[in-house]
Chains A and B, each alone.
Chain A
């Protein structure tokens, strides 16, 4: 087990240069250090100008997603020791515009997420006097997996379709839409279908499956998307065969 490991970190300083450059740093490599620890060591001891996002350092906030040796990873959940002799190559998350160093612009995702209405939609709110919404364990199971999403955007980095088709709404947005569609308290499935059933919605997905592979929370967005394709297709058939049934 080496004492130190080389980290090749991408730098992008728009006020100085037009493209990404790489700088190499030698950081200590205790067995319990994660890549984020290495980055913080660099910023504290070696180069204070390095910019990167992080917060909870325990895999729940979704801030620290970066490309580590070509793979989208949460840097707080990736051990330096796993890379043996190194070097560890750190780049900003793929498929997003780079603002500075390892920081990417995620507004595109935020807009797409908002467009699928990721909240409980109801025709009429139940008044407080009627008490709480009741849900059985089975009803919870129906959507629980998709509620685990931490918006870390590793799935968007892994999705080649998102890279090729900027309008594609993307894995996490669809998974989160499903989280609400499958929630027994929700009545907004029809509204969401309008957004999701466009060409830039679910139909752009060709089931590559990379999103599910890289998801740190086992949300399985690919599965959510395929299930929704089936739902949307059946809805279309129903609407065609029985146009009089109101949505």
Chain B
């Protein structure tokens, strides 16, 4: 029998072409292994990146519309519910940064004088950049 076997075709049972078993993947497949769950958590960190953009734009609007609105925004950001969201967001965006910097070496193979630059060095330089940029942000916000 020369039926073209595809993932979606359902061949009928014959003596010389047995019925294949196709186990169905559960909707909760990502809960069954820690590797998959941590992958999904990593992907969900993007939601908190989007939250930051919303939060940041609210801050910008408050600054644009005067000192009173800015103070109001600061007060609002201190409310327990908002604080909680931002604490969770901080955890998730840190997860995003760490996983991103660790995986970046995979996409870029840099060759120096024929030898492949070790992944640790590329990841390390990413972390260094992160530290420098964060220090820059701190300086811009706190100095003066």
Contact = CB atoms under 8 A, between A and B. Distances in A.
A145 B134 CA distance: 37
Contacts of B21: 12, 14, 19-20, 97-98
A208 B103 CA distance: 11
A226 B114 CA distance: 21
B80 interface: no
A163 B29 contact: yes
B6 interface: yes
Contacts of B8: 166
A229 B25 contact: no
Contacts of A220: 106
A201 B101 CA distance: 25
Given A107-B5, A160-B29, A166-B8, A99 B107 contact: no
B103 A230 contact: no
Contacts of A95: 25
B18 interface: yes
Given A107-B5, A160-B36, A210-B35, A98 B107 contact: no
Interface residues of B, number: 26
Contacts of A210: 35-36
Interface in A74-111: 94-95, 97-100, 105, 107-108
Contact of A227 (B39, B103, B106): B106
B106 A222 contact: yes
A108 B6 contact: yes
Given A223-B106, A229-B107, 11 more contacts: A97-B7, A99-B18, A105-B20, A107-B5, A108-B5, A160-B29, A208-B35, A208-B36, A210-B35, A226-B103, A226-B106
B61 interface: no
Contacts, number: 76
B130 interface: no
Contacts of B22: 97-98
Contacts of B79: none
A88 to B, nearest CB: 18
Interface of B: 5-8, 13, 18-23, 25, 29-30, 33, 35-36, 39, 43, 103, 106-109, 114, 116
Interface residues of A, number: 36
Interface in A84-140: 94-95, 97-100, 105, 107-108, 138
6 contacts: A14-B13, A14-B19, A97-B21, A98-B22, A207-B103, A227-B106
Contact of A160 (B5, B18, B30): B30
Contacts of B33: 70
A223 B109 CA distance: 9
A211 B141 CA distance: 43
Contacts of A97: 5, 7, 20-22
Contacts of A105: 5, 20
A208 B13 contact: no
Contacts of A218: none
Which 3 A-B residue pairings sit nearest by Cβ, starting from the closest?
A: A166-B7, A97-B20, A226-B107
